[in-house]
Amino acid sequence: MLDGKRIVLGVTGGIAAYKAVELCRLFVRAGAEVRTVMTAAAKEFVAPLTFQSISRNPVFSSLFAGVERYDHVHIALAEWADLFVIAPATANCLGKIAAGIADDLLTTAVMAARCPVLLAPAMNSAMYENPVTQGNLQKLQALGYRFAGPEEGELSCGETGRGRLAAVELIFEQARALLAAEKLLAGLNVLVTAGPTREPLDPVRYLTNHSSGRMGYALAAAAARFGARVVLVSGPTSLARPWGVRVVDVTTAREMREAVLPEFEKCQIAVKAAAVADYRPGSESGTKIKKSGELTLHLVKNPDILEELGKLKGERFLAGFAAETEDVRENALDKMRRKNLDLIVANDLTEPGAGFNVETNICRLLFRDGTELPLPKMSKDLVAETILREIAKRYRKQ
Ligand code: PMT
């Protein structure tokens, strides 16, 4: 099942460390090559020789002893791995990864890893429920780390609650699913835009819209999971940066245009999910505009970035979004033609659970070749994966 797959198994210092031996055995029996990294505390619970015997590989725990090269053991492990699994992952280990602390072999190797990382937390339930731990888990999840468990049940300390290591069979299954993930966009450069733009009126005010950036961030994260090199040009959002994605921050539509054009040259696929302001104030006041009766704003048109990309398109696959409140399909089709797109994703903003600033979306994919794919209400993550799967199918056929 896992023939030829390379797994780094990180073991940290918790009583559940003994269960990691069984997990190691499952990986090896399925055909994977396993290299185990143990923290100093883990070695207090289980002898390295146990993992060494089961994996038939040396066990690593020192930053200063080599794999192939003596000087960069953490980098060599990170480059070697198809998947990183940390089981059990203690509160301390999760906290260090979330805070960017790399002070031993395991945390430095994880920091250098570009492959998926699966964390199986295990700890006392009070430690698990502690807001600091919960904050760390949320942060790690937003950054793209995957989790198996923890489960509820009897804990080694005698308490009952959430914090028990997930069943090793479940961790194994999740690891297998991650290793099987399709690399549909491997070798391709993908450009995604996300979020709103802000058009300044004076030093304290601006024009913008309700875009949270979620749709575009989900697309960038999914493209990275599918193996692409991803650049995300993002308007202002409060979202965590997706794992494995290069982010270019911009504020205004004109800045977005400046950032997008050079990236477009290098990409094979571009998906423009950003809600770019169509207009900006004709002039920006250098001082705060004072209140005095009525105020009339003079707005000028912003560049239409997508339209410009449509003219430069060449062999690239170019996708846009259309957020509409009436005649959704017709307006979207019109935009696809005018902007020379291969795909337009139409959002009907009148439907609850679709469009701006919600976790879900309801989209209709309209392709240049006439194919239409209406999607039910789905999480933006799932919408993103569906869109990219359809794009990959068509791009590879071109
Ligand atoms: O960010 P979220 O809260 O997750 O919300 C997601 C979303 C609703 C913003 C997203 O799904 C979406 O529909 N984005 C496009 C919204 C929009 O501005 O549509 P539009 O019809 O105005 O623009 C059509 C296309 O042209 C878009 O791809 C847009 O990026 C592009 N455009 C528009 C104007 C402009 N000046 N330059 C552009 O490139």
Answer whether 42 contacts ligand 1 (Cβ < 6 A): no
Measure the CA angle with vertex 39, ends 33 and 45; round to 5°: 95
CA of 61 to the centre of ligand 1 (A): 49
Whether the pLDDT of residue 67 is over 70: the answer is no
Question: CA 370 to CA 243: how far, in whole Å?
Answer: 34
> Ligand 1 within 6 A of 322 CB?
yes
- Give the pLDDT confidence score for residue 240 in this predicted structure: 81
Q: Does the fold of domain 189-397 match that of domain 6-180? A: yes
Q: Is 379 in the pocket of ligand 1 (CB under 6 A)?
A: no
The residue ranges of every structural domain in the chain are 6-180, 189-397
Fold of the 6-180 domain: Rossmann fold (3.40.50)
Does the pLDDT value for residue 70 go beyond 70? no
For residue 68, what pLDDT is reported? 53
Q: What is the mean pLDDT of residues 93-115?
A: 94
Which pLDDT value is given to residue 217? 95
Stretch among 228-237, 240-249, 315-324 having the lowest mean pLDDT: 240-249
What pLDDT score was predicted for residue 69?
52
* CA of 213, closest atom in ligand 1: 1
Q: Is pTM beyond 0.85 here?
A: no
Region 327-336: mean pLDDT is 96
Question: To test the ligand 1 pocket, which listed residue (193, 208, 211) has its Cβ within 8 A of the most ligand atoms?
Answer: 211
Check if CATH label 3.30.365.10 holds for domain 189-397. Answer: no
Predicted pLDDT of residue 42: 97
Considering the chain, what is the average pLDDT of its residues?
A: 92
Peptide bond into 150 cis (omega under 30): yes
Sequence-distant contacts of 357-366: CB under 8 A, at least 24 apart: 357/210, 357/211, 357/212, 357/214, 358/214, 359/214, 361/215, 363/387, 364/328, 364/329, 364/332, 365/390, 366/329, 366/332, 366/333, 366/336
Percent of the chain whose predicted confidence (pLDDT) is above 70: 98
Q: Please report the atom of ligand 1 found closest to the CA of residue 303.
A: 36
Q: What is the pLDDT of residues 258-291, one digit of tens each?
A: 999 999 999 999 999 999 999 999 999 999 999 9
**Residue 79 pLDDT:** 86
pLDDT given at position 396: 75
Residues assigned a catalytic role: 157
